[in-house]
Chains A and B, each alone.
Chain A
Amino acid sequence: MRKVQIAAKIISNKQLGQRYFKAVLAAAAVADKARPGQFVMVRPQTGVEPLLRRPLGIHNVCGRNIELLYEVVGPATGILSQKSPGELVDIIGPLGNGFCYEGRNTRGKGRPILVAGGMGVAPLVFLAEKIKKLKPLVLIGAKTKSHILCEKEFKGAGCDIKIATDDGSSGFKGRVTALLDTILRAPNFQLSNIYACGPRLMLEALNHIAQKYKILAQISLEEHMGCGFGACLGCTVNTVNGYKQACKDGPVFDAQEIIW
């Protein structure tokens, strides 16, 4: 799992509504090695402001290209969103451990459940593609109907999709974790593993539910990172096994390992 630093050419960089964008980058050296749940450190800016790279989950891999789904939240993602096809973006990757979806850490014959909160859909599309033969169930949580992302991509991977919105404008009204609870409560539901990505509070709630139903949950933490490759020791996560680095030991952890 060799990581590389490359200047990746932008193939496309499209706005998906609101502040969401999808960039496709030519990055064969990253695409070849990438596993679902891994990320890249992106530096679209030049100069010293903003200074640091930004971690973005690998949204999908298509041949020699990688896809990044991102929300414009600050200056770095703002600069990335302005880039045109043909321009170069400095990236480092693939980084982190990724989801474990074969062998160890997976069990049961039932369907896997993917739970995404907000931008948490980004790395789960790649995972859904890899485990499509297991026909995963995907729960997408969003603020409103217009914030729902990647329905099409998950459908394309043969997933069943259930939506939860905070205002009830689409699907279940309430948190995606509440939706998860109602699904797991159904007596005949054949379950195997939960894979989740989203805000920390959502993942914490999800951990309680996973424990209640005794299901293994792998969660991908969205942390601020200094370097992304284990040098700065800045993205510390408190776990039952001591401090770990989100960039190197994660970003995917067993939910029960985290001290929430």
Chain B
Amino acid sequence: MNPNLNIKIGKVKLNNPVMVASGTFGYGQEFAPFISLRKLGAIVSKTVTLNPRQGNPAPRTCETPAGMLNSIGLENPGIEMFIKEKLPVLRKIGIPVIVSIASEKDPTEFIRLVKRLGNLSAVSAIELNISCPNMRHTRLISQDASATYEVVKAVRRQTTKALIVKLSPNVTSISDIALRAEEAGADAVSLVNTINGMSIDINTRKPKIAMVTAGLSGPAIRPIAVKMVWEVYNKVKIPIIGMGGIIDTDSALEFIIAGASAVSIGTANFINPRISVEVVEGIQKYMKVNKIVDIRGLTGSLQK
């Protein structure tokens, strides 16, 4: 018998726990030549803001040991263009569409964004990106437990759609923030966003990224992310979407065993555009071999 990979995020049913991290998968079509997008558990859009954003100047990315830095700066066409041009294409894939949204200056933008998306049947869930490190904020919403609570609470009042809150690892205690998000009514938390980082060209003595600091992703951050998922799992009851350096089935399973109900593939999509679907198949195989009938039995199954 095939193992059961179905999971739920709020009211949203996913055929399997593998999704793709916001900002690493465009709006899906970039990957259509390589994989059958329908095989994913869900697709998370690149973050959308109220207004179009051209993003940060070049250079925006650089490679680092087992990782990469990025400071894209939420380049996106804005919510109206997204709804008009990207959303219909995402909907056609036929799997849950999770729309990632962010505010640029004022957290009340989240309310306007959610109001705009709340009635659209093509939107299965909304991910609040309160943790992008590449905006000119001095402090992120997700670096402040009260601010996180207030934003989630305010957004919760506006929509019955599943709400996912994406958390920053650049905090003293991520589980405290996750707890506040849960208390405010989040259906799930996703973690981790990228870790603040910086890299310097010693010949020019210039930063390798135009914005100087950037977000680190890739296998380099995986142990940190796994630990944070485990820590949050021990504190909250809502599902966790784990991510940070997943590059194959084994690393996806680490997150699930640590406590993640679902996983997101990020940077690895750039290296192997087929990786997300390969991980779905790999998890299925692992469950068969280890006689695990339901993926939910694997979540948080860390042995002492």
Tell me the A residues contacting B by CB distance below 8 Å.
2-5, 43, 48-53, 90, 92, 224, 226-227, 229-238, 242-243
Compute how far the CA of A226 lies from the CA of B270 in the bound complex, rounded to whole angstroms.
Answer: 7
Whether A236 pairs with B26 at a CB distance below 8 angstroms is: no
CA distance A4 to B70 in the complex (A): 26
Q: Is the CB of B55 within 8 A of A243?
A: yes
Our pick among A3, A43, A224 for the contact of B271 (Cβ within 8 Å) is: A43
In the complex, chain A residues whose CB is within 8 Å of the CB of B243:
none
Are A224 and B59 also in contact (CB < 8 A) when A51-B68, A234-B70 are?
yes
Instruction: Please state if B270 and A236 are interface contacts (CB–CB under 8 Å).
Output: no
Judged by a CB distance under 8 angstroms, whether B61 is at the interface is: yes
Answer yes or no: B54 CB below 8 A from chain A CBs.
yes
Complex CA distance for A233 and B270, rounded to whole angstroms: 11
C-alpha gap A224/B58 in the complex (Å): 10
Q: A52-B68, A243-B75 are in contact. Are A227 and B270 (CB under 8 A)?
A: yes
Tell me, in angstroms, the Cα distance from A238 to B24 when the chains sit together. 21
Q: Are B55's CB and A52's CB within 8 A?
A: no
In contact, B33 and A3 (Cβ under 8 angstroms):
yes
- How many A-B contacts at CB < 8 Å in the complex? 90
> B24–A51 contact, CB under 8 A?
no
Among B54, B62, B70, B218, point to the contact of A243 (Cβ < 8 A): B54
B1 at the interface (CB under 8 A from A): no
Q: Are B61 and A48 in contact (CB under 8 A)?
A: no
Given contacts A231-B269, A234-B61, A237-B58, 19 further A-B contacts (CB under 8 A): A3-B34, A5-B274, A48-B219, A51-B63, A51-B68, A51-B219, A51-B267, A52-B271, A227-B270, A231-B25, A232-B70, A232-B72, A233-B60, A233-B72, A236-B55, A238-B57, A238-B58, A242-B54, A243-B75
Q: Are B270 and A232 in contact (CB under 8 A)?
A: yes
Contacts of B70 in A (CB 8 A): 226, 232, 234
Which residue of A is nearest B61, CB measured? A234
Interface centre among A5, A237, A238 (most CB of B within 10 A): A5
Closest residue of B by beta carbon distance from A248: B30
Given contacts A5-B274, A52-B271, contact A236 B30 (CB under 8 A): no
Decide: A231 and B270 in contact? CB cutoff 8 A.
yes
Question: Is A231 a contact of B61 with CB atoms below 8 Å?
Answer: no
B30 near A92 (CB under 8 angstroms)? no
Max chain B Cβ within 10 angstroms of own Cβ: one of A52, A90, A236, A243: A236
A4 neighbours in B (Cβ, 8 Å) = 33-34
**B32 nearest CB across to chain A (Å):** 10
Q: Known contacts A5-B273, A224-B59, A227-B269; decide if A233 and B219 are in contact (CB<8 Å).
A: no
Among residues of B, the one whose C-beta sits closest to the C-beta of A74 is B63
22 A-B contacts, Cβ less than 8 Å apart?
A: A2-B33, A5-B34, A43-B272, A48-B66, A49-B65, A51-B66, A51-B67, A52-B63, A52-B271, A53-B271, A224-B62, A226-B68, A227-B271, A227-B273, A231-B26, A232-B70, A232-B270, A233-B55, A233-B60, A238-B57, A238-B58, A243-B54
